Amino acid sequence: MRMVTDDAELTDSVVREIELPRAIEKPENPGESGSRGLDAASEARERGREFGESMSEKARQSRELIKGKPELPERPERPELPDAPGLDR
């Protein structure tokens, strides 16, 4: 690929001309568009913090409920099954 200017003489090696889009103008106050992104990021961070604190509190409450419950009784032992004819164990 070779870039040539409009005033340059083209040779036979040029296969196709590609027109590039015009440059986009910069906004007059570039800080304004960025501040919206910062506001959104701050809001998302705060919501995430609130969610984390809420989940932490729920986990703490669950732990306290489990501590207050009596332990489950142990399961009884499995009884011995009688020998069945024709089965090798």
* Mean pLDDT, residues 1-9: 72
Task: Report the C-alpha gap between 39 and 42 in whole angstroms.
Answer: 5
Task: Report the C-alpha gap between 49 and 37 in whole angstroms.
Answer: 18
- Give pTM, 2 decimals: 0.39
Q: Are 27 and 33 in contact (CB under 8 A)?
A: yes
Segment 15-73, tens digit of pLDDT: 677 888 888 777 666 656 567 788 889 999 999 999 999 999 999 888 888 777 777 77
The pLDDT of residue 16: 74
